[in-house]
Amino acid sequence: MSNLFIFSNDLRLDDNAALYQSSLSKKGLTTAFIFNPKKWEDHNDSPLKIKFQLNHLKEIRDELIKKNINFKIIYANGIEDEPEKILELTKKLGITSVFINKDYGFNERKKDDSLKLLLDKKNIKFNLFDSSILNPELIKTGSGNYFKVFTPYSKVFRSLLTSKDLDIVPEPLLQDSNVSENDLIPEYELEDNYFLKSIEDYKVGTDKVNKIFENFLHEKVKDYKNLRDFPYLDSTSKLSPYLTSGMISAKNCLKELLQKFEDTPGTGQYSWMNEILWREFYKYIIFHFPKVSKGKSFSEKYDEMIWRDDEHDFKRWCEGKTGIPIIDAAMTQLNQTGWMHNRLRMVVAMFLSKNLLIDWRLGEAYFMKRLIDGDHASNNGGWQWSASTGVDAAPYFRIFNPITQSEKFDKDGQFIKKFLPNLEMIPEKLIHNPSKELRLENNYPDMIVDLKESRKRALDAFSSI
């Protein structure tokens, strides 16, 4: 008897239900990771994110080998190819049971269904485990429907948390013996010079990842509510890359948070827990309303929206050359580091979808190609929120003024000057919207669009739907 566990967005040993269950017999366990560049390209996964995952897997592989758990690489060509390649490995190793944690994406669920059919034909048992904090099928409205608004969803979620102990699954058990040879992690070269530099900033390995969380929990979370919106401060958890790839358990994070603090509204810990719940909410949405995984607006009427087809303006937005310092600094942060402060994600998304009236789906795809924490559910949910097309979205008439946002959250221009060093000599009061003379002196472009006029254009377009 031999078991196979397949990693996905669950790259950890602790609180990994499928991995733990696959280890219980102690009679031989092989783990595998699917190396699938075509799928990554099809899903717009950032090369930085993939390199980050592979670096972490090197550490995980070594931890597994110490437990007599084998590690294999499965090579596949697109997500539809994965079931057959998994089946090939089961034949080669004499696998009798396959273990996987459920992924809630539309294509991933189709893949799991196809895999189950193949395994059933070969009398190989397929074991699928829930990877969410709370099973999304259990969270319903009083009338038995699924939530479409975050606040009531979060209230039910919190009530279930207080009445249900968050059980954390142990690490997999030591196996009696090895059952096969171990594969090495394939080489994966980064071609982007910025990514080559920034990958060094992201620590990997179980102990280092846990220390990042512990530091946030003990040093930063109390001030999170008051400081989280200021991009020049190091006040956020920086855990999003690790949560996205499952290098740390969101359930375990909440358990430790609730053990240390009361879940009291208005506190830093309450606000941070809300961010975790937003991640769960967006996964809940793609599970129950899969149309959002197919390029559709949650609010169907906006599928009729006529967006501007302007490649030049979109390119300037992507490159951080809009002539609006806070927008350009934020996009430069994204392009250089693979990460962007959450407040700024909303600002740049709203600017693209409303002031420039460019299809939010283009911005969504560009973010995924650059973000080290690119998560389909959260990214789609965030973009549709900003574009007012999504579930529980901002009303269409809510349009952030990027200059006002800059003055409020980067008052002295510290963030702007960090990522736009050509503007560092501009006085603080003038940096948010430099004069024409200052723009010429500092080689900075004119504003891509008039904010007042573009706001009116957006209001007219959205109100006509």
Q: Which residues are catalytic?
A: 275, 278, 307, 342, 360, 383
Closest CA to 220 of 243, 245, 206, 239: 239
Q: CA-CA distance, 94 to 1, in Å (whole number)?
A: 8
Closest CA to 69 of 78, 60, 79: 60
Are residues 372 and 336 in contact, defined by beta-carbon separation less than 8 angstroms?
Answer: no
What is the chain's percent helix, strand, coil content, to nearest 5?
Answer: 55, 5, 40
What's the one-letter identity of residue 247? M
Looking at beta carbons, which pairs linking 426-431 to residues 24 or more positions away fall under 8 Å? 431/325
Q: 313 vs 95, 141, 351, 355, 358, CA distance in Å?
A: 54, 43, 11, 11, 9
Between the CA atoms of 355, 411, 329 and 235, what dihedral angle is there, to the nearest 10 degrees? -110
Which phi and psi angles does 373 have, rounded to 5°?
-105, 25
Q: Helix (H, G, I), strand (E, B), or coil: what is residue 427?
A: coil
> Could you please report the per-residue DSSP string of 261-292?
S---TTSHHHHHHHHHHHHHHHHHHHHH-GGG
Helix (H) or strand (E) holding 128: strand 125-129
Closest CA to 375 of 250, 216, 236: 250
Are residues 325 and 412 in contact, defined by beta-carbon separation less than 8 angstroms?
Answer: no
Looking at beta carbons, which pairs linking 74-77 to residues 24 or more positions away fall under 8 Å? 74/6, 74/32, 74/33, 74/34, 74/35, 75/34, 75/35, 75/36, 76/34, 76/35, 76/36, 76/38, 76/39, 77/36, 77/38
